[in-house]
Structure 1
């Protein structure tokens, strides 16, 4: 996205509409939305293409999600048996709590590179059912307890360009290096905005990147496992939540859960205590032993001896894996084909690789087969050197040494082809309030510093 593309940004006053009343007619149309074909199916529901009759027939993606699933009902029955003799109202089911978190995150987002949420239809009176008839003598007093089984309806921006396709049937890249740069540049702008708002996406991957109809802009979707930190992550100029009660939905302990896609998870998420990660006092971070296979890892890239805190740095790692996928057609860490059929065993092998192994670089990248120069390119002026240097900064196993999204944005490879990069960096930065001039100054100084300093050549082992 270039500086002139900022006209695509939604207006700040366009708030998400919350509708408490649901109407479904005989044609199965929902409120003002004329339902058409199904375009997707997820863990909690389905997505239908609809036309909004109140917005001149604008196409939207209507996501229909049940408040609960059978597992939630079992949990509720157990809670009823233990706690509802005094007539207590049951708390949110785990599914509903997850959905409300997703809504709370999307309500905060107003950016050209993030899929927009237009409306939430939340009618708790729809489709009530009874539970409690034949629950046993201990629950006779709790019969006729109403349990809400209604659905949430989320009207979202319809991105008809589809997912970012990045490999063929033989796991070879299908994008040029320049196309990859454009895609990553859009994702970086969206992620920078999210982090500025205190939001960690937690599941950045190609499948969660969609094109607009004209395939001019890539947008981030799927906030089902996203996290919001209302205190620690907010930066000067970020918006306050539209509904302060949403803050109570999020707990920092949720970050310890292994949510997301295994191949894209950062080392601090899949960190585990194991003797293969322990080093003798005389050992350095250069060498880690894993059984009979010794692995050499560059200075500073090994996992710390203690689990680091989970921060927005996990999105930088996932973004790096996504960049690697677009360039080479496969993920940097993979379970061997001969691995055990047990899914838990394979995940353990994958997580061990993510924590302890280095990543390889092929001789060429992209469908246009641009020469990389290998893992340690000698030509410091080549595009291969710029790309591998960027990946090296993003795939640091210690999150404290990993670059931030804002630093990625200022990387020379990302800025390649951008006219007036200084102006572009400033104009595409998250909105800053009038009371944060010092923050603006620091932001501009960081921009100039990154632009004036190309990455230094790295040490080549053995030379």
Structure 2
């Protein structure tokens, strides 16, 4: 990249035996910048992303970088999982203005969860999106934790959507480490930092050694905060750093879900609430694992179907909540709560005899008190 350094405008670069056109800068940080690139001379080749690490301030015999080395090692060992960004290769940019810079050539992904939160205009993301993100990130965490890796910097900016594969992927492994071999003291980002990591960071800043090392449980804490922000549509940095949160985080989570009850499906939201609470336990040993979290009943709810049904049912009046029970899925049971009895009667009359997804619809009434208390599995027909 002749005449260009990290963070500058980069016209061309040579990597892996090909010439790449730099199209735009996607982001920059203290140690690296990321650029969108496209292979020259091959319009069929998919675009990529180059992460260029800033050259060291002082000349060194081997221009290796701490963050670069950690991220490269992690991505090479975790290569192949669909929910982890793909590393295509590594190369050195010898034409950087400040000296040789090390680069990672990565797959190009799309919008981040951070951007999705901005687009939601403080209304929160759809339950389908939250479920999809939670499952994909948990799949990634389950895989890397099985490999003894800890991501250590999970946050909305580091979870990106892949339009090509229709899934979310984890990026940025610059702070990752292997359990039992942690050689970095300052981990995670403010607002997504687990209590044990907060303590470790404070001790490190004071020059003291922590008696216990952080484990994969710190990633579950971060994901719990991310999902809570996706549900509420609010940044929760100041909330999770407050004394009220430290005194009774469970009550604050309950309040967030209670305030959103009209917008999101009641009982499915409770499953999400319980999943998030299991990730945000103050004691790391009592926090759920990624593998256990994937067994949550929250993931048995077909939100894609729910959205289609909601669209149809809303033709007859405002829908307060909906639920597809996970038991007896072959019956095709769907519970729909309307805002008032008249709308419910109209829907019952007009939906009966219709076809949905190739099946005849038979609608009947169900006691609201039983629905609210979760008694959903009595015979309907």
Is 1:29 the counterpart of 2:13? The answer is yes
Aligned length: 286
CA 66–330 in structure 1, closer or farther in 2 if over 3 Å, else same: same
Match runs of 1:80-95 below 5 Å = none
**How far is the alpha carbon of 1:403 from its aligned partner?**
0.7
2:263 to 356, 369, 380: 369
Q: Give CA deviations for 1:152-179 in whole Å, capped at 9, x if unaligned.
A: 1211000134545343589623411122
The answer to which structure, 1 or 2, has the higher relative contact order (CA under 8 A, 6+ apart) is 1
- 8 Å contact from structure 2 (residues 257, 273) kept in 1: no
**How far is the alpha carbon of 1:353 from its aligned partner?**
6.0
Q: Give CA deviations for 1:330-369 in whole Å, capped at 9, x if unaligned.
A: 245526xxxxxxxxxxxxx927666544251325577971
CA 316–62 in structure 1, closer or farther in 2 if over 3 Å, else same: same
Partner Cα distance (1:105, 1:178) in 2: 30
**How far is the alpha carbon of 1:111 from its aligned partner?**
0.8
Match runs of 1:6-405 below 5 Å = 28-31=12-15, 32=18, 33-53=20-40, 56-69=44-57, 73=58, 96-109=65-78, 110-122=80-92, 126=94, 149-163=99-113, 165-168=115-118, 172-214=122-164, 216-229=166-179, 251-254=181-184, 257-271=185-199, 309-332=213-236, 334=238, 350=241, 355-359=246-250, 360=252, 361-364=255-258, 369-370=263-264, 382-405=267-290
Where structure 1 has 5 or more consecutive residues not aligned to the other structure, the ranges are: 1-21, 77-89, 130-147, 233-250, 275-305, 336-348, 373-381, 422-456, 458-463
* Helix, strand or coil at the partner of 1:195: helix
**How far is the alpha carbon of 1:261 from its aligned partner?**
1.2
* Helix, strand or coil at the partner of 1:410: coil
- TM (norm. structure 1) is 0.54
Where structure 2 has 5 or more consecutive residues not aligned to the other structure, the ranges are: 5-9, 203-209, 306-325, 327-373, 375-381
- 8 Å contact from structure 1 (residues 113, 218) kept in 2: yes
* Helix, strand or coil at the partner of 1:167: helix
Match runs of 1:382-461 below 5 Å = 382-417=267-302
CA 28–178 in structure 1, closer or farther in 2 if over 3 Å, else same: closer
CA 160–166 in structure 1, closer or farther in 2 if over 3 Å, else same: closer
**How far is the alpha carbon of 1:49 from its aligned partner?**
1.4
- 8 Å contact from structure 2 (residues 191, 237) kept in 1: yes
Partner Cα distance (2:23, 2:116) in 1: 29
Alpha-carbon RMSD across the aligned residues, in angstroms, is: 3.8
- 8 Å contact from structure 1 (residues 192, 406) kept in 2: yes
**How far is the alpha carbon of 1:34 from its aligned partner?**
2.1
- 8 Å contact from structure 1 (residues 176, 368) kept in 2: no
Partner Cα distance (1:334, 1:169) in 2: 21
**How far is the alpha carbon of 1:327 from its aligned partner?**
0.5
Partner Cα distance (2:95, 2:116) in 1: 42
* Helix, strand or coil at the partner of 2:298: helix
- 8 Å contact from structure 1 (residues 326, 366) kept in 2: no
Partner Cα distance (1:310, 1:394) in 2: 15
- 8 Å contact from structure 2 (residues 124, 229) kept in 1: no
Q: Give CA deviations for 1:26-50 in whole Å, capped at 9, x if unaligned.
A: 9533242222222222222322211
**How far is the alpha carbon of 1:59 from its aligned partner?**
0.5
Q: Give CA deviations for 1:60-84 in whole Å, capped at 9, x if unaligned.
A: 0111112313xxx3xx8xxxxxxxx
- TM (norm. structure 2) is 0.64
**How far is the alpha carbon of 1:258 from its aligned partner?**
3.0
Partner Cα distance (1:216, 1:367) in 2: 28
